[in-house]
A and B are shown apart, each in its own frame.
Chain A
Amino acid sequence: MNNMSPEVALNRISPELRPLLCSVVRNGRVGLDSTNCLRITDLKTGCTSLTPGPCCDRFKLHIPYAGETLKWDIIFNAQDPELPPDFIFGEDAEFLPEPSELPHLVQWDAEDPECLLQLVKELIQQYHQYQCHRLRESSRLLFEYDSLLEDPDYGRSLEIYAGHKNSWTGEFSARFLLKLPVDFSNIPVYLLKDTALDPGEDVALLFVSFEDAEATQVFPKLYLSPSIEHALGGSSALHIPAFPSGGCLIDYVPQVCQLLTNKVQYVIQGYHKRREYIAAFLSHFGMGVVEYDAEGFTKLTLLLMWKDFCVLVHVDLPLYFPRDQPTLTFQSVYHFTSSGQLYSQVQKSYPYSPRWDGNEMAKRAKPQFSATRQAFCSGLVIK
């Protein structure tokens, strides 16, 4: 029941209410965490059991918010589909939004398929304000919030979840979810091409959990959309610094932002550098180029000849080129190893400097190839 696909859920909904829910289920993006879309579960009906289906008109809506998932009950009446729904806000029994702040409720239009989605967004806004209000229980955390609010970069994309872990005796805790203002638009498309992972917006979210009201136990976490994570080299490549004790968010968040930005810049730069490198090699070794990666510029294969002796040279450019040195692989076209592979020799260390530009690297590659080729051939002859 909980893993019901959206289409199955929609089929069970009363036909008059279906359009409203379509937009929620298919296009519903509420809040900062747009990777998790809205989900509906626990479909029930308010009609008698004799009513022929489909007639479900009440369900639970799962809304991701500040690292938590809100489970709100939405109650329609299938017999009166033109009427606006009612809500039960789960465990937040004290959350009571002001109806006048919900224009889509006051002027509910059942003909507008987006009406329910808009109403939910308005409710989330009210919920956010309610949570911020709850921060007043802790002056320290309230300070954190206020300081972030003042900064235009972070204040607008902030979700707060505050409360007691345990209703009676638990510590007051709060969760901050911030959208980091990092520009991912210049990341080369080839890195993001795996759309199956994430068809949506590229976003980096910083989740900070304050386990106590005095901010002595703070646990930050960085969430990236899957394509960004892949583009930056996987989750292992990115480590954010621990939250400094006694520090505050307004200092820490920019640090993380900078780190992320640097990383992105590096990746972008690397791409351009590789492109430059390949271009230079193409111009220097023109006729000798067998193939090269024209999208990511990560690979280049050359065919070199010396006295009627041909050698293939594969150049592999790493992700963090030019920081990391390219790998050269010399491969024979005549000889096989015992395992049936073409005989090859890898060379990782050779004179190299990341400060050279592409042209310079191509120029210095020639004598390097000659020297290596001689040694390679000699080695082959011996074999």
Chain B
Amino acid sequence: MAASISGYTFSSVCYHSANSNSDHEGFLLGEVRQEETISISDTQISSAELLQVVEVHNHEPCAQLFSFYNYAGLVNEENLNKILKERRKNVIGWYRFRRNTQQQMSFREQIIHKQLTQLLGVPDLVFLLFSFISTANNSTHALEYVLFRPSRRYNQRVTLSIPNLGNTSQQEYKVSSVPNTSLNYAKVIKEHGAEFFDKDGVMKDIRTIFQVYSALQDKVQAVCGEVEQSERVKEKVQQEVNKLKQQIALRKQKNAEEERRILEAQNPEPLPTPEENTEPPETSLLSLVAFNTPSTPERPGPSANPPAYADLLSLQDNSLLPSSSSPTSAALLPRPQAVGSPGHPSPNPMGLGLGLSVGSSPAPSPSTPYLGNGDGSSSDSLDRQAAGQEDEDEDEDEDSSEYENLVSEVAQLPPVTINVLAQGRPASLSPDGDASARGSQT
């Protein structure tokens, strides 16, 4: 058996009791219900547990002692009805308050209880005993309460729980199943209810909030769709880029092989000329410059033939042609990105003209289609190359020795480079141009 009493009923009983200058008694009104718990476990077939729950909703205090019984403890039914009136059927127990006494049913209480059980027709009538225990110097007063079930021989005491009292670890306010039986409350709610509740009895605010929630959900769904689409486009583009890169690499390789054959065919003694000496660095410069991208973990060696840059330039601005460029035009070549250069993690994010913020991650695996740096901007060097010129001043900020080399090499280049480039036809800015220029010379 379990029992619960609402906080306001309990405090009301305590108030009546504490304010009386003698013992005090009254009746408890409420209801008793049966709760059946069926539990199923692996070890046994379902077992049902019946729990009788007593709920105290209200109380009816007696104005004075011996109001419904005589000196011998004999209950007078007439007086009982006068006290209870129409609430007699709601009686589930009675209570007594006595100061500084033991928590035990007294002689008269037991006699009265037996009679009440029979008269009211409640077999499990409960008895709530309150007592104030005060210390000798009245410094501490303890209110103690015990709920008895005297009809049973054993386990006579029942735990009485008061919802929302005592357990401070519980954060939320527990709503008990005790209904509010106050007439005034019902009247007020009925009168003002229409302002808060709609026809279904649901609070209007709830509905509004739910609508907001639904709208937000729809928007989120839409955005999800858009994101998905853009992701797919991006994926496709990335795939194309990768394909192109592969083609470039392949062509570069082929060209390199071809060049080597030509060279071998033309010059049986493979003595490098000063011009030619500069070429590899130049080619290496170009190759380095062009292909030092985060997506390629390996760059071609300095002796490798430069790949076909024309393919790339066809997508790009013609202002990068060497004829119109200054000696430092090589510096205008798309600058390699620090991020992703193999073996060189970027020391600081480069403040490029595009204002990109680049993460300092080392070269990502070539298989990742998404090359961004996470903030939606593109840190792909190819994209940057497509976007426009780089700021040449930032060249000097690089810590990379490779870039220093590039810069110094570029500085050394001017006369030769210009020569080579100027002689030839206005070729596309590619290492190929040099070869073809050379070819035209001889």
Q: Determine the distance from Cα of A215 to Cα of B22 in the docked complex, in whole angstroms.
A: 49
B23 neighbours in A (Cβ, 8 Å)? 46, 75, 77
B138 neighbours in A (Cβ, 8 Å)? 49
B71 neighbours in A (Cβ, 8 Å)? 83-84, 105-108
Q: Are B101 and A73 in contact (CB under 8 A)?
A: yes
* Also in contact, A49 and B141, with CB within 8 A (given A77-B23, A99-B72, A105-B72): yes
Q: Determine the distance from Cα of A146 to Cα of B380 in the docked complex, in whole angstroms.
A: 114
A73 neighbours in B (Cβ, 8 Å)? 101-102, 106
Is A58 an interface residue, CB under 8 A from the partner?
yes
Q: Determine the distance from Cα of A99 to Cα of B101 in the docked complex, in whole angstroms.
A: 22
Q: Are B72 and A77 in contact (CB under 8 A)?
A: no
Within 8 A of A (CB), among B78-132: 98-102, 104-111
Q: Determine the distance from Cα of A99 to Cα of B108 in the docked complex, in whole angstroms.
A: 9
Is B213 an interface residue, CB under 8 A from the partner?
no
Is A292 an interface residue, CB under 8 A from the partner?
no
Q: Are A46 and B72 in contact (CB under 8 A)?
A: no
Within 8 A of B (CB), among A82-108: 83-84, 86-89, 93, 96-97, 99-100, 102, 105-108
Q: Determine the distance from Cα of A349 to Cα of B111 in the docked complex, in whole angstroms.
A: 75
B102 neighbours in A (Cβ, 8 Å)? 73, 88
A49 neighbours in B (Cβ, 8 Å)? 134, 138, 141
Is B8 an interface residue, CB under 8 A from the partner?
no
Within 8 A of B (CB), among A35-82: 44-49, 51, 58, 73, 75, 77-80
Mask: chain A, 268-284; 1 = CB below 8 Å from B; 0 = not: 00000000000000000
Is B223 an interface residue, CB under 8 A from the partner?
no
* Also in contact, A88 and B65, with CB within 8 A (given A46-B22, A108-B71): no
Mask: chain B, 247-261; 1 = CB below 8 Å from A; 0 = not: 000000000000000
Q: Are B111 and A99 in contact (CB under 8 A)?
A: yes
Q: Are A75 and B101 in contact (CB under 8 A)?
A: yes
Q: Are A44 and B101 in contact (CB under 8 A)?
A: yes
Q: Determine the distance from Cα of A96 to Cα of B21 in the docked complex, in whole angstroms.
A: 28
**On chain A, which size bracket covers the interface?**
20 to 34
A78 neighbours in B (Cβ, 8 Å)? 22
> In the complex, what's the smallest C-beta–C-beta distance from B17 to chain A, in angstroms?
11
Q: Determine the distance from Cα of A327 to Cα of B74 in the docked complex, in whole angstroms.
A: 74
* Also in contact, A79 and B107, with CB within 8 A (given A73-B101, A105-B71, A106-B71): no
> In the complex, what's the smallest C-beta–C-beta distance from A98 to chain B, in angstroms?
9
Q: Are B21 and A48 in contact (CB under 8 A)?
A: yes
Is B73 an interface residue, CB under 8 A from the partner?
yes
Q: Determine the distance from Cα of A80 to Cα of B71 in the docked complex, in whole angstroms.
A: 13
Q: Are B72 and A106 in contact (CB under 8 A)?
A: yes
Q: Are B106 and A86 in contact (CB under 8 A)?
A: yes
- The residue on B at minimum CB distance from A79 is B22
Q: Determine the distance from Cα of A40 to Cα of B191 in the docked complex, in whole angstroms.
A: 62
**On chain B, which size bracket covers the interface?**
20 to 34
> In the complex, what's the smallest C-beta–C-beta distance from A140 to chain B, in angstroms?
27
Q: Are A88 and B111 in contact (CB under 8 A)?
A: no
Which of B18, B99, B104, B111 has the most chain A CB atoms inside 10 A of its CB?
B99
Q: Are B99 and A44 in contact (CB under 8 A)?
A: yes
Q: Are A45 and B110 in contact (CB under 8 A)?
A: no
A99 neighbours in B (Cβ, 8 Å)? 72-74, 111
A45 neighbours in B (Cβ, 8 Å)? 99-100
Is B66 an interface residue, CB under 8 A from the partner?
yes
Within 8 A of B (CB), among A4-49: 44-49
Q: Are A100 and B134 in contact (CB under 8 A)?
A: no
Q: Determine the distance from Cα of A274 to Cα of B23 in the docked complex, in whole angstroms.
A: 67
* Also in contact, A83 and B66, with CB within 8 A (given A78-B22, A108-B71): yes
Within 8 A of A (CB), among B37-72: 64-66, 71-72
Q: Which of B21, B74, B105 contacts A47 (CB 8 A)?
A: B21
Q: Are B22 and A89 in contact (CB under 8 A)?
A: no
Q: Are B98 and A46 in contact (CB under 8 A)?
A: yes
B104 neighbours in A (Cβ, 8 Å)? 88, 93
- The residue on A at minimum CB distance from B102 is A88
> In the complex, what's the smallest C-beta–C-beta distance from A232 to chain B, in angstroms?
43
Q: Are B72 and A58 in contact (CB under 8 A)?
A: no
> In the complex, what's the smallest C-beta–C-beta distance from A84 to chain B, in angstroms?
5
B100 neighbours in A (Cβ, 8 Å)? 44-46, 58
Q: Are B21 and A88 in contact (CB under 8 A)?
A: no
Q: Are A88 and B141 in contact (CB under 8 A)?
A: no
Q: Determine the distance from Cα of A304 to Cα of B21 in the docked complex, in whole angstroms.
A: 84
B111 neighbours in A (Cβ, 8 Å)? 96, 99
Within 8 A of B (CB), among A125-177: none
> In the complex, what's the smallest C-beta–C-beta distance from A40 to chain B, in angstroms?
14
Q: Which of B72, B98, B107, B134 contacts A89 (CB 8 A)?
A: B107
Within 8 A of A (CB), among B192-209: none
Q: Determine the distance from Cα of A15 to Cα of B243 in the docked complex, in whole angstroms.
A: 112
Q: Determine the distance from Cα of A251 to Cα of B211 in the docked complex, in whole angstroms.
A: 98
Q: Determine the distance from Cα of A88 to Cα of B102 in the docked complex, in whole angstroms.
A: 8
Q: Determine the distance from Cα of A132 to Cα of B149 in the docked complex, in whole angstroms.
A: 28
- The residue on B at minimum CB distance from A72 is B107
> In the complex, what's the smallest C-beta–C-beta distance from B118 to chain A, in angstroms?
16
Q: Which of A44, A79, A97, A105 contacts B21 (CB 8 A)?
A: A79
Q: Determine the distance from Cα of A96 to Cα of B110 in the docked complex, in whole angstroms.
A: 8
Q: Determine the distance from Cα of A229 to Cα of B345 in the docked complex, in whole angstroms.
A: 113
> In the complex, what's the smallest C-beta–C-beta distance from A89 to chain B, in angstroms?
7
Mask: chain A, 190-228; 1 = CB below 8 Å from B; 0 = not: 000000000000000000000000000000000000000
> In the complex, what's the smallest C-beta–C-beta distance from A4 to chain B, in angstroms?
13
Q: Are A58 and B65 in contact (CB under 8 A)?
A: no
A108 neighbours in B (Cβ, 8 Å)? 71
* Also in contact, A75 and B72, with CB within 8 A (given A44-B101, A58-B101, A99-B111): no
Q: Are B74 and A75 in contact (CB under 8 A)?
A: no
* Also in contact, A51 and B107, with CB within 8 A (given A83-B66, A88-B101, A108-B71): no
> In the complex, what's the smallest C-beta–C-beta distance from B387 to chain A, in angstroms?
89
> In the complex, what's the smallest C-beta–C-beta distance from B114 to chain A, in angstroms?
9
Q: Determine the distance from Cα of A96 to Cα of B141 in the docked complex, in whole angstroms.
A: 31
- The residue on A at minimum CB distance from B103 is A88
Q: Are A77 and B107 in contact (CB under 8 A)?
A: no
A88 neighbours in B (Cβ, 8 Å)? 101-102, 104-107
Q: Are B99 and A51 in contact (CB under 8 A)?
A: no
Apart from A96-B111, A99-B74, list 5 A-B contacts with CB within 8 A: A46-B99, A79-B21, A84-B71, A96-B107, A99-B111
Q: What 3 A-B pairs come out closest when comparing CB atoms?
A: A44-B100, A99-B72, A79-B22
Name 10 interchain pairs, CB-CB below 8 A, sorted by A. Answer: A47-B99, A49-B134, A58-B101, A83-B71, A88-B105, A88-B107, A96-B107, A105-B71, A105-B72, A107-B71
